[in-house]
A and B are shown apart, each in its own frame.
Chain A
């Protein structure tokens, strides 16, 4: 199963570095960091063969990987667009207009919550408090936060995405 799936050598080295942070026999502790690496390297989501590969790398059973991957919201269990727009909608962001931001994105990209746009570029993932409440409304895009959003700023970000001119990592 895992013949075709393999980390790039740099990532594999990273995996070994992570495992070395823990005592002998506690390599399972590396699971969440390694899943982050895997999601990044294998198209932004965790397909079953990818999770099986991670299990093999860490010498744990596949089910141990599945139960963790499905528990944490950052792991995508189905394919996503190139740009995953994670827009916070919890209280403090709501007070500053996150509902309008979400509505605008839904309409503009013609997508539902959790859905991906027809061109496969964007996935909209409403999020719960991301720790940027003072800089609301906000969204996470890849590694970074985009804060103090306005409709205009969102449009700008979407344009930059389309041009492939936005930093994700």
Chain B
């Protein structure tokens, strides 16, 4: 059994409610934190080595230390609950089942940052979750953990929940702030960074739901103890939302020392692949990170086992590795079509591009159209090169990283599964009724399976 910090009490009936949460040690970390100085809490978070769980993996303590503190200007904490990256549904789990863990984390974090009004920006489609969060907020308020003069410390905090309107781009932190201000979700040019000019031009920290929840165990056990869990710069625990062709899809907390193989095949986690099918490929960190074939997923190019942590997943760079990203773990079995899967992702990014930058707006549209053509058996060999060319022209040439996020899945699919794209081009009819099967390098079975 791996170490559990966030989900250790998730199985307890009624843990969603204040009374039960409190009975199991809830808000003790907040009581401890409110007796500390904000600088001391910041030190604990820095020592913990916690890296942002929203996808980029930026050290949370460092981010907090950048927050500007001009005299007389309010500051804000905004929790990013936009969670729209395909494959990712872990924040939803935390909010639905452990809302008080998030509220407690927000209390500690807001106190540390000096925010008296903090917001949770939640994707609009999670439309039943704001009720759960608002109920938790009311309960915490009634118990004196929110509102005015919390626990007699003189510290005031209000937390509000704001629903978005359905736009993946609003997960990007500056687009989120635009949306929270009542505008289209167009990412802002940086600098200025939100830490200096964020919500309503005030200094703002934007953090992922899981990052803020993790602050609770960090205070509970101390930053140094937290840092001992995991390995290297992958400290603490990470939530992984697993989906696709596995026996037990769901949300798992891992301590980042297990191998990818164990995660997929052990009964504690994904429980293997249904119907005895073979593993073909995996996108381990949400749709934006590179897809890798089975052999490169389970072992690095040097033949070392691959582990479920930031460094190991990234080992080999984009040539042979991938990324931890948001922890959205998507498994494809031997019957799945990489071209079709990539096409759905290209459609997603095209749909979600905010349209401000030409390479992203136009490029995502082109990639989707070309992939659709190849998928339908109407593609030409040149189309594969054209795709490669387009994705390269998007990467690095846009205001926000959505452009890169759209380019990488296409690049990785072509890099590792070019055969399969070519097979679609060469077999326009067959490809409509059959799948290419398992990739050559994933397993030594013939390129075209007849299953």
Contact = CB atoms under 8 A, between A and B. Distances in A.
A130 B125 CA distance: 7
A64 B178 CA distance: 13
Contacts of B181: 26, 28-29
B88 A133 contact: yes
Nearest to B179: A32
A36 B347 CA distance: 26
B421 interface: no
A95 B127 contact: no
A94 interface: yes
B120 to A, nearest CB: 11
Interface in A114-160: 128-136, 140, 143-144
8 contacts: A23-B200, A28-B183, A32-B124, A33-B162, A36-B165, A131-B88, A131-B125, A134-B243
Contact of B352 (A29, A67, A89, A128): A128
Contacts of B354: 71
Interface residues of A, number: 40
A169 B250 CA distance: 26
B148 interface: no
A35 interface: yes
B98 interface: no
A131 B88 CA distance: 6
Report the 8 A-B pairs with minimum CB-CB distance, sorted nearest first. Answer: A72-B165, A74-B166, A31-B182, A134-B249, A28-B182, A73-B166, A133-B243, A129-B86
Contacts of A134: 89, 241-243, 249-251
Contacts of A64: 182-183
B175 to A, nearest CB: 10
B244 A92 contact: yes
Interface string A30-74: 111101100000000000000000000010100010011001111
A75 B341 contact: no
A92 B249 CA distance: 11
A78 B382 CA distance: 40
A79 to B, nearest CB: 18
A89 B336 CA distance: 15
B160 to A, nearest CB: 4
A164 interface: no
A104 interface: no
B312 interface: no
Contact of B165 (A71, A89, A96): A71
B366 interface: no
Contact of A72 (B89, B167, B341): B167
A21 interface: yes
B182 A68 contact: yes
B393 to A, nearest CB: 23
Given A95-B244, A133-B88, A143-B128, 20 more contacts: A21-B160, A23-B74, A29-B181, A32-B165, A67-B184, A71-B185, A73-B165, A73-B351, A74-B165, A91-B348, A94-B344, A128-B86, A131-B84, A131-B123, A131-B125, A133-B87, A133-B89, A133-B243, A133-B244, A135-B249
Interface string B170-197: 0000000001111111000000000000
Nearest to A132: B89
Contacts of A96: 244
Contacts of A75: 165-166
Nearest to A23: B200
A128 B368 CA distance: 14
A14 interface: no
A131 B348 contact: no
Interface string B74-98: 1000000001111111001000000
A72 B164 contact: yes
A58 B185 CA distance: 19
B340 interface: yes
Contact of A90 (B162, B167, B185, B345): B345
B280 to A, nearest CB: 11
Contacts of B84: 129, 131
Nearest to B342: A91
Contacts of A94: 340-341, 344
Nearest to B158: A21
Nearest to B340: A94
Contacts of B85: 129
B126 interface: yes
A131 B83 contact: yes
A77 to B, nearest CB: 12
Contacts of A36: 124, 163, 165
B417 interface: no
Contacts of B74: 23
B9 to A, nearest CB: 21
A146 B209 CA distance: 24
A73 B354 CA distance: 12
A71 to B, nearest CB: 4
A18 to B, nearest CB: 9
B110 interface: no
Nearest to B92: A131
B43 to A, nearest CB: 31
A130 B245 CA distance: 18
A128 B243 contact: no
